[in-house]
Amino acid sequence: MQINPIEQFEIHDMMPMVSMGGHQIAFTNSALYMLLTVLVVSALLIAATARRAVVPGRLQSIAEMSYEFVAHTVQSTTGSEGMKFFPFVFTLFMFVLVANLIGLIPYSFTVTSQLVVTGALALTVFFVVVGYGFYRHGLHFLNLFVPKGVPSYILPAIVVIEVLSFLTRPLSHSVRLFANMLAGHITLQVFAAFIIMLAGFGVLGWFGAVLPFAMVVVLFALELLVAVLQAYVFAILTCIYLNDAIHPGH
Amino acid sequence: MSDARDNGEHDKQQTSEAALSARLQRLGEGLARQRAEQTTDNAGEDRATTASGYARGFRLSSELVAGVAVGAGLGWLIDRWLGVAPWGLIVFLLLGFAAGVLNVMRSAGVVTGTRFDQGFGRDREG
């Protein structure tokens, strides 16, 4: 019986540690579920596009809808020029979405509830934005930090604040996904624990346990919404940041 | 003869012009319909997501905390590298707070029209 609500986030080694170049390489349950996520996404998309029917079946519809959804998001946020980043955004979106959904299966591990994972994703986006911005615009990319129409005597302070505001992006980008998943799963676990604890009190407790059970059902539906919504938010924030790299200073 | 041909060409031109304007009108109507659909879509999204005050509050507070945390971290690093403690921490904590407030105002849509966050108006969800 699992009462400790934090226990679900613990990392275990699945295999004995391997030492490689002086580093300990461990294959943990987190790595296992990341691998599983990638496999599920790949299998889904490969199976969905295998038949390529004119009238799509169910699987093909899923693939086409997710493609169109992300393509529309990228197009409307970054313009047609941003479509070269479509594979990047689509990969991120599908990874986060499937990881969130797999995490909702009871007894499974939620990869996106680890700050390391979401932080790595957000930092990747951040460095892609900075790298592409400088590659594409050279030093003009720095215009991003110089707002127009600001009096020159406060401009230095504004520029520093803008730079800081830019540097906070990977943090809020990753924390938003991480904290939403963490909080949701803890809430679910706490209410599920109430059921077990109440049921331990005998017949009266069984009737009492109906209340937290109803709560768990409602919360699960909410978590399903949050899982999809947070994947979308992650993707659209990526698009907004990429938009800065493509069109800085306007 | 030449008159008739002129007339014929004139007619053809007129019909093609009429066809063109009809097509343009159809295109305009289609665009207007799509735009209306999009705006109603957005409105629905807004309603559905702003209803969740928890998500909104969480988003805004994470922006502010991120600003302060990054400012403090950067100030601390500058102190360590340049040995100007405690001034780096003090100055950058304040600047980080300002950046956090700026982030909050941007993601709440209070400050709009500045360059790099026209997109932030659509960032209404948690």
Q: Which residues of chain A have pLDDT under 50?
A: 1
Distance from chain centroid for Cα A223: 14
Count of H-run helices and E-run strands, chain B: 3, 0
| A248 interfaces chain B, CB cutoff of 8 Å | yes
pLDDT of residue A106: 86
B26 CB-near residues (< 8 Å, 6+ apart): none
Nearest residue to B114 via CA among A73, A240, A146: A146
Question: B15 or B119, which is more confident?
Answer: B15
Q: Which CA distances in Å does A8 have to A67, A87, A146, A174, B16?
A: 32, 32, 46, 20, 70
pLDDT of residue B1: 47
Give the burial string for A118-152 (b: 16+ CB within 10 Å, else e): bbebbeebbebbeebbeeebeeebeebbebeeeee
Nearest residue to A27 via CA among A36, A37, A16: A16
Average pLDDT of the segment spanning B79-103: 89
Q: How many CB atoms lie within 10 A of CB A66?
A: 18
Percentage of residues in chain B with pLDDT exceeding 90?
20
- B37 pLDDT band, cuts 50/70/90, is low
Q: Which chain A residue lies closest to B115 (C-alpha atoms)?
A: A250
pLDDT of residue B18: 79
Express each pLDDT in B94-125 by its tens digit: 999 999 998 888 888 776 544 444 444 444 33
Nearest residue to A171 via CA among A126, A222, A113: A126
Q: Say if the Cβ atoms of B126 and A226 lie within 8 Å.
A: yes
ipTM of the complex: 0.71
Lowest-confidence segment of A50-59, B2-11, B87-96 by average pLDDT: B2-11
Residues 212-241 of A with CB under 8 A from B: 226, 229-230, 232-233, 236-237, 239-240
Q: Which residue shows structure tokens 């939620």?
A: A110
Q: Tokens representing A55?
A: 């009238």
pTM of the shown model? 0.76
Q: How many CB atoms lie within 10 A of CB B94?
A: 14
